[in-house]
Amino acid sequence: MSDLNPLAPSAPSRGIEAFRRLALSLSLSSLFIALFSLLASTDESVSLAAFFLSPFRSRTMFPAILEAAAPLAICALGALMAFRAGHFTLGGEGQVYAGAFAGAAAGIVAPAGSLGLAAAMTAGVLGGMLVAAPSAAGRRFTGADVLLTSFLVSQAAIFGIDWAIGGPLRDPVNNLVAMRAIPGASLLQRIAPPSTLTLAPLVALVLVLLAWAFLSGTRSGARLTLYGKNRMFARLQGFPVDTLSWLPIVIAGGAHGLAGAMLSLGANGTAVRGISGGLGWSAIGVALIAGNEPVAVPFAALLFAWLDAGARQASILSDLPPDAAMVIKALVILTATARPALRGVRRLAGENSGR
């Protein structure tokens, strides 16, 4: 495959760099947790225990972390597929929401059971693709900036779905702003009660392996990566640049939509207003921490899910602010992704000084 992408690091070196970044992110997370506990909590020991001990002592908390990491990993796979092709999409949040909405709608009307589950997951994928389609079409036919169009379309989708869930499709007997409940037989079944763990992590792991095999072991995967690095060279080599200009964006939308459907088919039992909960944005951070390498995505997703669970537990058991996880994740992303940027700056500085 090296003949297709002679300027890019080999797959093993990409993987090693991704796991180095993961190790750095874990170390930084531990450091920032300690600093936040010292600065923002009056009971540091309880806050630290909530992060480092509670998730592994509880019979339900660690399975819940695994369950939360699954849709996050699937979203990150979609994001990195688009990123590897050079499409920096910001539409993940709306695509997740659309997938949750479409999945719930299909699950409600389809026959209960495995058919309803399959219909809901398929509808979720199609819902995410539908939100991604305008950006993909704009990129393909007019060269529109995906960064801008994906964000605008995503926001429009969020507002529209908010209206639908809170208005004509709201369940009048539910205290939450939510659609009617999906039949229990159509939901993802729990495999370790009383925890919320389902087969979602297994689905995410299978998709990770498929994405890794595609990007690292096929010509199409190598072409996608090279297209993202140098579109002109890809065109000169005869690669299908017209297809690559839009297909990765739609695939990313489908992955986000599938993750959204899993949210509705899991513990929520239907689509609730705001069910996406920032998942599309967090997925961008997971993809960056993983270095856009599929094999590192599950570990980065687990890191983020652990931070969220630990922050919630710390806010209950101590006085640590519940938004601590958001701040810690932002600092980790900023610090961990700054290293490649700094290397690039130093390289450019060296080239300029040598002239």
> Which residues are paired to 272 by β-bridges?
178
Residue 343 within a domain:
no
**Amino acid 4: pLDDT:** 47
Number of domains in the chain: 1
Residue 87 within a domain:
yes
**Amino acid 36: pLDDT:** 85
Distance from C-alpha of 157 to C-alpha of 148, rounded to nearest angstrom: 14
What is the model's pTM? 0.89
**Amino acid 248: pLDDT:** 97
The model's pLDDT over 176-214, given as tens digits with 9 standing for 90+, comes to 999 999 999 999 999 988 889 999 999 999 999 999 999
Residue 22 within a domain:
no
Q: Please name which of 53, 45, 101, 112 lies closest in space to residue 310, comparing C-alpha atoms.
A: 53
Distance from C-alpha of 95 to C-alpha of 153, rounded to nearest angstrom: 9
Distance from C-alpha of 128 to C-alpha of 265, rounded to nearest angstrom: 16
Q: Angle at Cα 89 formed by Cα 85 and Cα 92, nearest 5°?
A: 125
**Amino acid 149: pLDDT:** 96
**Amino acid 272: pLDDT:** 96
- The total of other beta-carbon atoms located within 10 Å of residue 32's CB is 19
Residue 159 within a domain:
yes
Question: Which CATH number is 153's domain given?
Answer: 1.10.3470
The model's pLDDT over 22-47, given as tens digits with 9 standing for 90+, comes to 888 888 888 988 988 888 888 888 88
- According to DSSP H, which parts of the chain are helical? 11-40, 44-52, 54-57, 61-84, 92-109, 114-142, 146-166, 200-217, 219-229, 231-236, 241-244, 247-265, 279-289, 297-317, 324-353
Whole domain around residue 299: which residue ranges? 66-336
The model's pLDDT over 217-247, given as tens digits with 9 standing for 90+, comes to 999 999 999 999 999 999 999 999 999 999 9
**Amino acid 11: pLDDT:** 54
Give the C-alpha distances (Å, rounded to integers) separating 133 from 153, 266, 311, 335.
9, 26, 36, 33
- DSSP tag of 296: G
Residue 99 within a domain:
yes
Residue 320 within a domain:
yes
Residue 40 within a domain:
no
Distance from C-alpha of 260 to C-alpha of 95, rounded to nearest angstrom: 8
- The total of other beta-carbon atoms located within 10 Å of residue 78's CB is 32
Residue 272 within a domain:
yes
Average pLDDT per 10 consecutive residues for the chain, totaling 355 residues:
45 74 88 87 85 84 94 97 95 97 97 96 98 97 94 97 96 93 95 91 97 94 94 92 96 98 95 94 94 94 92 84 84 77 52 51
Q: Angle at Cα 186 formed by Cα 181 and Cα 189, nearest 5°?
A: 105
